[in-house]
Amino acid sequence: MTKRALDLLLACIGLLLLAPLFALLALAIKLDSPGPVFFRQERIGRHGRPFRIFKFRTMAVTPPGSGPQITVGADARITRVGAFLRRTKLDELAQLIDVARGTMSLVGPRPEVPRYVAQYTPEQRARVLSVRPGITDFASLRYRHESDLLARAADPEREYVEVIMPEKLRVAGNYVEHASMAADLRAMGLTLRTVFVPDTPLRKVRSFMNHSPFWKRVEARMMTAGPRSRAWALLTDALVVLACWHITYLFRLGFERWQPGRPWYDDYVSFGVVAAYLLCLELFGVRQALWRYFALDDFRRIGLACITAGLISAVAVLMAQLVGVARAVLVLHPVFTLLSLGGVRMACRMLWEHAHAAAGGEDTERRYVIVLGAGETARRLLAGLHQRHGWYVLMLLDDDAAMQGLRVAGVPVAGPLVRVRDPSLTAGATHVVVALPEADGEGRKRALALAAESGLTVLAVPGAGELSVVSAARC
């Protein structure tokens, strides 16, 4: 199926499914402010042909040329409904009409107004305007908060023309050179994730944890707590095991267990089960592990302890012929306890890492990394960096064909080093780490040059595991 056929099929399906939503949006726009439902503006399309784009109107109607052609921050022209449409990107859905008409594609370089296209170099025009413009692309994903960036600039127009537009053209040009169905699907997937999984709730949670007096007290407690706090850990484990016993009963029998006539030994059995679990947790070394560093080995030890304690409890109940104890509870309780004990420790680790970051003044914003290299240095880097203090490794790249397609510590090796220039691969990433300290001078220089071409922040491992920022000039 060609790209155009897929565009037409998906656009028609989208227009049919979204027709009720379009009607509601049209009604809201008309009730909010006078003017048309759609915003029509001339843009430059494939081969330089102009067309009038469809977007749901988000601004008050003003005479032509009365305002800037870029939107900066909280533009006074934006209506109440328009602000919602822009925040949720629903105003862009009207461009499905352009896709159905054939003037646009689902994925492609975003169309610009003639005034900005006139500033393209001949090479940029030949490359970017060789394909249909799209509703979304990797450049628009990278600059999804473009209006906020422009609002912070002293001269928004100059900032756009001299800084943002050249970078968007570079990313768009790379997309055109490496266009593929896989790249289009990745762009659409990232767009859907951006629209339906906004980062606003995450920012609110971080703001609460950074400014709430309650969390400040919790963080202070976490930072000053002893490395083991054995008495509190013992009490917590006992309460978790006991709670899981009652929750398992509730899950299996509902509230029947608490009806009159239950066996006299019921509470004694629960206390005996707690004792068995605490004994096994001690025997398997679970209580010697630091909760703040909870890892897979600790989870394995908890699993072994729960299985052993569950078997001991089941054998004891069966040998004592305590028929009032539900057999299903004996089977399910170890599972519930394993998940709960692991969950409590993982929550403690997450809280400790947040408190440690807050105490150290570290930025808790997430940073997404592509690592160049898949050798021993990359493995050690993953062990110390991945999913710690806001760092997340997306993939590894390595020129060793035998490594490509494999995984290192759960992270895939996605291809050779040269793929770091592919915008469909780097979309969503914020940093590139060159983990090739063992490479010769030429190999290391080539890797740094490729990393610089990605347009992302470049870090390098010089040899001893310490990272240093590498500027593009040094590459």
| Angle 153-159-163 from CA coordinates, rounded to 5° | 130
Separation between Cα atoms, residue 444 and residue 87, nearest integer Å: 43
Domains of the chain are 1-209 (no CATH), 224-349 (no CATH), 367-473 (3.40.50.20)
Output the six-digit token pair for 360.
Answer: 């150290």
Residue 104 to residues 92, 98, 129, 133: CA-CA distances in angstroms? Answer: 12, 5, 12, 5
Nearest to 269 by CA among 306, 318, 197: 318
Note the pLDDT of residue 221. 60
> What are phi and psi for residue 407, nearest 5 degrees?
-125, 145
Separation between Cα atoms, residue 263 and residue 203, nearest integer Å: 51
What string of pLDDT tens digits covers the 475 residues of the chain?
588 888 999 999 999 999 999 999 999 999 988 889 999 999 999 999 999 999 999 888 876 655 565 666 566 788 889 888 888 888 899 999 999 999 999 999 999 999 999 999 999 999 999 999 999 988 888 887 787 777 777 888 888 888 888 888 988 888 888 788 878 888 888 888 777 665 555 555 555 555 666 656 655 565 555 555 667 788 889 999 999 988 887 776 666 666 666 677 777 888 999 999 999 999 998 877 777 778 788 899 999 999 999 999 999 988 888 877 878 888 888 999 999 999 888 887 777 766 665 554 444 567 889 999 888 888 888 877 776 667 888 889 998 888 888 878 778 888 899 888 887 777 778 899 998 887 877 888 898 999 898 888 898 887 544 444 444 444 4
pTM (whole model) above 0.85: no
CA neighbours within 13 Å on the CB side: how many for 438?
Answer: 6
Residue 465 to residues 378, 420, 431: CA-CA distances in angstroms? Answer: 10, 22, 17
Residues 6+ apart with CB under 8 A from 460: 433, 434, 448, 467, 468, 470
